[in-house]
Amino acid sequence: MAFRNLSPSCLAVVQAVRAWLEAACEYPVAPVRIGVSGGVDSMSLAAACAHVKQRSLPEAKAEAMIVDHQLQESSGKVAEYAAQQLRNIGLPARVERVNVVDDGVGMEAAARDARYAALTDHFKGMLLLAHSMDDQAETVLLGLSRGSGTRSMAGMAVESIRGETRVVRPLLGLRAQTLRQAAVDWGIDFWDDPQNAQDRFARVRARKSSLPTLEKDLGPGFTQALARTATMAGRDADYLDAVAERELPNPGDEISVEQLAGLHPAIATRVLRRWLNHLGIEEVGFDHVEAVFRLVSAWKGQRGVDLPGSVRIRRAQGRLQAVR
C-alpha cells in the first residue's frame, strides 16, 4: 500500500483521525485501540491510523482489534485476513473471539454488547470506532421513528467514556462513500457483511430504502441535515442532563414532590429518570416517566404507577416513594 500521494478520500480520513492520535500521544502516551470488523469503514479507519503512525507519530501506541463474533461460518477467516492486511501495512493487529449469547435482547444487540465488552473491558486508553455520517443519520432516523427524546436524537457521541475507556468516533463527519473510496484508493481489501443487506433489520431498511427515498423526495443533503440535528440535540441533551444532575446530585430512595414541582418539566422529567435509574429501574420509557410525573403535576389522589421490575412509585407525605 502506497501512502505518498493521498487521494482526496484518503486525505479526508487521515485528517479526521490525526488530531485524536496526536491527543493520545500527549504525555503520558495513552494506548490506542482501533475497533475493526473487516468491513470497509473500519479498514479505512485502520489504514488511516497506520499512515499517521508511520509518517508523523511513530510513538503512537496503536493497535487494531478485530472482533470475531463467530456467528458466521467464514467469520474466523475474515478476521484473520483483516488482521494480516493491517500487519502488512505496519499496524499491530490481533483477533479477539467472543461468544454471543442472546439473553432476550435479540442477536444484533447481543453481538453489539459482546463486541463492546471485548473492546473496552480492562482497557485504559482510547478506542477509535469507524461510524460514519451515514451511520449517524440512520441512528437519528430510527430514534425519530420511536418517538425518542433529545438524548436518543443526539445519536452517537463523538467522544464518550465507557468504564476506563475513552471511546472516540472520528469519522462521524464523513460520508460512507468517502470511506469506501478511501479503501479502494489504498488498495486494501474489505468484507461486505451479508447481514448488512438483510431487510429484517430496521437499520438496514433505513439505509437501503428510507434514507435514499428521503434524499430523493426532500432533496440532497438530508443525511447531512440529520447528522447536524444529532449534533445540536446532543448539545441540548448534555446541558439539560447536567442541570438535572445538579438538581439531584445524590439520589436517594425518596424524592421531594415540592422540589420536582418547582422545576421546568424538561428538567423534572430528567430528574425523575435519573432517580428511577438509581433505584435500579433501567428499562424506563417515556410513558413510564410521564406517568410518574403526573403524580407531581396532576395529583388527584391517584394510585401509584407500576414500573418494570415489580416496582410501584407512590406519592405519600409529600414525597415520591418506591414500593417493591
Q: What are the cell numbers at 75? A: 467469520
pLDDT at 2 over 60: no
Which one of 98-112, 167-181, 213-227 scores highest in mean pLDDT?
Answer: 167-181
Q: CA 117, CA 127: separation in Å to the nearest integer?
A: 12
pLDDT in tens, 178-211: 999 999 999 999 988 777 777 878 888 998 899 9
Binding residues for ATP: 37-42
251-323 — its CATH code?
3.30.465.60
- Residue intervals of the chain classified under CATH 3.30.465.60 are 251-323
Binding site per annotation, positions = 37-42
User: Average pLDDT for residues 9-18, to the nearest whole number?
Assistant: 96
pLDDT at 107 over 80: no
For residue 162, give the C-alpha cell.
Answer: 465507557
Residue 199's contacts (CB-CB under 8 Å, 6 or more residues apart) are 205, 208
Mean pLDDT of the chain: 91
Higher pLDDT, 285 or 21: 21
**Model pLDDT, residue 309:** 83
**How many residues are present in the chain?**
324
Confidence of residue 105 (pLDDT cuts 50, 70, 90): low
Q: CA–CA separation, 59 vs 39, rounded Å? A: 27
**Torsion of the alpha carbons at 228, 234, 239 and 242, rounded to the nearest 10:** -170
**56 compared with 148, residue with greater pLDDT:** 56
The whole-angstrom separation of Cα 86 and Cα 291 is 52
**pLDDT score at 27:** 77
User: Cα–Cα distance between 186 and 4 in angstroms, integer?
Assistant: 11
Q: Which DSSP category does 295 fall into?
A: H
- Give, in words, the CATH class of 8-218: alpha beta
Chain segment 120-137, per-residue pLDDT in tens: 999 999 999 999 999 999
Q: Is residue 60 a contact partner of residue 25, using CB atoms and an 8 Å limit?
A: yes
Provide the pairing of β-strand 311-316 with 319-323.
Answer: antiparallel
pTM: 0.87
Provide CATH 3.40.50.620 ranges for the chain.
8-218
* 104 backbone φψ class: left, alpha, beta (φ>0; ψ -120 to 50): left
Q: How far apart are CA 210 and CA 28, in angstroms?
A: 46
Q: Which parts of the chain fold into alpha helices (H)?
A: 8-24, 40-55, 75-88, 107-120, 133-145, 150-153, 176-186, 202-205, 211-218, 222-247, 257-261, 265-278, 286-297
CB atoms within 10 A of CB 120: 20
Q: Which residues 6+ apart lie within 8 Å of 292 measured at CB? A: 272, 276, 305, 307, 313, 320
Least Cα distance to 318 among 261, 245, 278 occurs for 261
